[in-house]
A = this chain, B = another copy of it.
Amino acid sequence: MVVSMREGEIISLFMKHFERHSLGDDAGFIKLNNSWLLVTSDMLVWKTDVPDFMTPEDAGRKVVTMNVSDIAAMGGRPMAFFFSLAVPGDVSEDILRGIARGINEGSKVYKLKIVSGDTNEADDIIIDGGSLGIGKRLLLRSNAKPGDLVCVTGDLGRPLTALLLWMRGEKIPREIEEKARNPRARVEEGVKLSSLANSAIDISDGLSKELWEIANASNVRIIIEEERLPISDSVKEIVSDPVKVALASGEEFELLFTIPREKVEELDIDFKIIGRVEGGNGVYIKRGRKIEELEVLGWEHLAGGIDVEL
């Protein structure tokens, strides 16, 4: 396949042409009275985003989760889900029923009302979901401050490990498959973080990429420590380079955030401190005594896939 433009280049091209925009964060935001309205859309393309260890139910639920996660990353509370669906003319009723069940499950898990739907015809199944939320104080990528601690919720590595095992035709252990098939957005964590943290992003493209997003948007230097990464135990048992997998693994839907040191004790959620924010630029990783610049690992659309092995 001729790859003419990478995802990042396409985004730049669009941003260059838009005269009135506020793109660049996990969700869009508009001030309304004393609140922030949040809105996001995130598309699932069957061919690239639904490996066959996922059921149609998993896919439907995931579309809800990935959109809700973008609202959570802004510190918002999701209120509604909406979607546009495209299907081939010969799509089976079983697949459609599965997708519908999955979306319904997702809407119940996150207590959302499904408010809008649109149906179309295309060659592949495409579900573009969206979520509407509301927040009091926004968590932007661009607000990390020197002195902040860098933290992450949950554990890392399972979704990518599942994908790598699947690509090799190997059996996926249940605990690893669980997060790959049924990840959960960190809604309550996001709401609690909204009054305390300075910046946040959800881990949809891999920790290393999200760290660079925050460092670049905030114009700060981030240093993380290799041994502090919350790598899933089951991942450690299977992969040869668990750190690399944890840094590259996307669709984790964990929250990566930075928070002033003095506010950490007020934070009533499970999280792990993995590093700190300093003045300067770039993202660095401490491996034993060595500090080196962190490479961006993980998935980029239109860039030819994944650069990590089992």
Contact = CB atoms under 8 A, between A and B. Distances in A.
Given A18-B100, A30-B132, A96-B5, A301 B119 contact: yes
Interface in A97-148: 97, 100-101, 103-104, 107-108, 112-124, 126, 128, 130, 132, 134
Complex copy number for this chain: 2
Interface string A33-45: 1000101111101
A2 B90 contact: yes
A84 B128 contact: yes
A170 interface: no
Given A96-B10, A113-B21, A84 B4 contact: no
Nearest to A107: B20
Contacts of A93: 4-5, 13
Contact of A90 (B3, B28, B104, B128): B3
Interface of A: 1-5, 7, 10-11, 13-14, 16-23, 27-30, 32-33, 37, 39-43, 45, 47-49, 79-80, 82-87, 89-93, 96-97, 100-101, 103-104, 107-108, 112-124, 126, 128, 130, 132, 134, 301-302
